[in-house]
Amino acid sequence: MATDWRRLAPAAREAQLNPRLAVGDAVAQSYLAGYAQRSRAARLRLAGTRDHRYGPQPKATFDLFRPATPPPHPAFVFLHGGYWRALDKDEHSFVVEPAVAAGFAGLVVNYDLCPQVTLDTIVAEMRAFMAHLADHARELGLRTDGIALAGHSAGAHLGAMLLHDPGPRGRLPIYWAELASGIYEPEAALDLGINDEIRLTPEVARRNNALDYPPSSPLALRVTAGAAEPPAWRAQSDAYAELARCAGCEVERTDVAAADHFSLLDAAIVPPRKARL
């Protein structure tokens, strides 16, 4: 039976739903330093342009890394994690490198962070990014028949929100997605110590509960978590995978052997090359 975070005592809830606590803060910091180092090295190998702007907010930017093949390229979009209140695209360039090697254009997206903005604003920024991508795909050298999308942790939540509603001007369908170790119920964070930084309110959390918003169109979907992650955290992925199956998606639900929340990104994410629309 899946572990329901609502049934956990406060200390157990804190331990299972805060990934830094689950692995230990020193280990988490070591992973994050490694992300940054690997991303700096990847940018030396990758061709592309950085800090494209998709909106007026300070962090409404994305980096675009291009393969060696002639355009237009299929687009692979990555949304970073950080519990909506930390991290940056600059620490995640390495994630798209395997897909770029496979012929995709890799787009790593930034967004403004809590508590400077609310989760409502972050979700709206992601939809603004999708609209920008639809409007400018051709000039960016991207194919216009659809995109592949991936997100990790809070980025998986944002990806799920886009699968339900990519925005009123979103004209690039998402044909494939991988959502890695997502937190799909923001309400789970309301009573955690980390909410001192996020500053979620019950109303904002409920409005952005991805388990209330299934994918609006069937697609091929991978939902992954680390086999070494706490049961209540993995249960978030179980719940979203079941929601997507009921919405008609072709879902692969996988726990990656020996992976924790942070080492999960060591597993290469490479979408299928052909859009299936």
Query: Mean pLDDT of residues grouped by 10 in the chain (277 residues)?
Result: 86 96 96 98 98 98 97 97 98 98 98 98 98 96 95 98 87 94 98 97 98 97 98 98 98 98 98 63
| Domain extent at residue 197 | 5-266
Burial 95-132 (b: 16+ CB within 10 A, else e): bbbbbbebebbbbbbbbbbbeebbbebbbbbbbbbbbb
Question: What pLDDT was estimated at residue 171?
Answer: 77
254 located within any domain: yes
- Classified as helix, coil or strand, 38 is helix
Residue 277 belongs to a domain: no
Task: Kindly report the length of the chain.
Answer: 277
Whether 240 is covered by a domain: the verdict is: yes
Total number of domains constituting the chain? 1
Please tell me the predicted confidence (pLDDT) of residue 3: 77
Helices 119-136 and 154-164 pack at an angle, to 10 degrees, of 60
Please give the Cα distance from 148 to 160 (Å, whole number).
13
CATH of the domain at 35: 3.40.50.1820
- Tell me whether residue 274 is in a domain: no
| pLDDT reported for residue 276 | 40
Q: What CA–CA distance (Å, rounded) separates 107 from 92?
A: 10
- Tell me the H-state helices in the chain: 10-17, 19-23, 25-45, 93-101, 119-136, 154-164, 195-198, 202-207, 231-246
Whether 259 is in a domain gets the answer yes
Classify strands 105-109 and 174-180 as parallel, antiparallel or unpaired: unpaired
Q: What's at 81, amino acid-wise?
A: G
Element (H, E) at 144: strand 142-152
* pLDDT given at position 274: 61
